Amino acid sequence: MKEHGTGSVELDAIPPAILRSLVRESIEEHVDPERLRVLRLAKEQERDLLRGVWVDMA
């Protein structure tokens, strides 16, 4: 208890959108913004590629 204190929070009481936002903001504080930008760009390109494959298969 000395290290983490005595307070507690029930995460299931927080609306999912707010919880996602809190987690995202906390993580992004520790990530290089340029690396995050590149990662998001790669993710978007991969998603577009997979959508194209899906359309071609249909």
Mind listing the pLDDT tens digit for each residue in 10-57? 888 889 999 999 999 999 999 999 999 999 999 999 999 999 988 888
C-alpha dihedral sign at 17, 30, 35, 49: negative
Residue 9: the pLDDT is 74
CA atoms within 13 A on the CB side of 43: 6
Residue pair 19/11 in contact (Cβ under 8 Å)? The answer is yes
pLDDT, residue 49, reads: 94
How high is the pLDDT of residue 31? Answer: 93
pLDDT at 34: 96
Q: The pTM is what?
A: 0.58
